[in-house]
Amino acid sequence: MKTPTHTLETSEEAGVRFLHFGSEWVQGAMRIARPYSLELEYTREMAACLLLRPDADWPQRILQVGLGAASLTKFWYRHRPEAKQTIVEINPAVVFMAQQSFKLPANDARIDIQIGDGVAWMHEDRRDKFDCIMVDGYDHNARFGALGTEAFYRDCRKRLSKHGVLVLNLFGRAHGYKKQIENLRAAFDSRVLALAPVEGGNAIAFAVNGEPVALEMAMLRADARRLFDETGLKFTGTLVRLDQAIAAMMAQLSKKRGALWL
């Protein structure tokens, strides 16, 4: 495992602290007055996996590849206090930065941070299963690399429980985006819901394992209202992108409007 050599830096503007990996790319952000909130739109969209598995006790076990500013780690820590989190981060300096500058809880039994390469870690022969796997692992040049291959996605699927969801943060405007989605569909037998990019260019994709998921907009909107009351998350833009993605899937299947199962 080769530890990245790029620098880690922070900047602040209008009450928001940003994390940078030695470049202008923003790798994470925290509103200083609300450290447990999801400041960046793409992180809120990743949390929309809760709409696909709306049970109040889901997820119980969470795996994150890439820590960044620990925004999602802290979100789960606050809103799913019974859940156990495993985070695989290749750079120990990122962990130190998250604890020192982004209020990541330290030495908590609910958060198991392992230093390692996410691709190699996922490929190891392990028996542990996760309800939710979240992959947000760019390098300092915003490249996804081996985290975007079909082999990696197949390894992720093996690690998912019967209620499992893989959540990916991709760059919808990047050259390799289409290939990554093709790889994801191949690994998950097309059980994939890919959303249009948010304003910053990040595109979130969900892949489902095990129990089917009903893609019915009335239910998704109702769950979004419930989650707003529970967490304060607003899914207004996400619901629009979900509706567009579901409509596109319907058209591709020549299916009339109604319930679609993923």
Tens digits of per-residue pLDDT, 189-238? Answer: 999 999 999 887 889 999 999 999 999 999 999 999 999 999 999 999 99
Average model confidence (pLDDT) across the chain: 91
Which class for 44: exposed (0-12), middle (13-18), buried (19 or more C-beta within 10 A)?
Answer: buried
Q: What is the pLDDT of residues 84-129, one digit of tens each?
A: 999 999 999 999 999 999 999 988 999 999 999 999 999 998 889 9
Tell me what pLDDT residue 144 has. Answer: 62
Phi-psi region of 173 (alpha: psi -120 to 50; beta: other; left: phi over 0): alpha
What is the Cα gyration radius of the chain?
Answer: 17
The letter for the amino acid at 94 is V
CA–CA separation, 20 vs 8, rounded Å?
Answer: 6
Contact 49, 132 (CB under 8 A): yes
CA–CA separation, 26 vs 31, rounded Å?
Answer: 14
What are the backbone dihedrals phi and psi of residue 217, each rounded to the nearest 5 degrees, phi first?
Answer: -60, -35
CA–CA separation, 260 vs 262, rounded Å?
Answer: 7
Q: Which CATH architecture has domain 9-209?
A: 3-Layer(aba) Sandwich (3.40)
Ranges of each domain in the chain:
9-209
Provide the terminal-to-terminal Cα distance of the chain, rounded to the nearest Å: 36
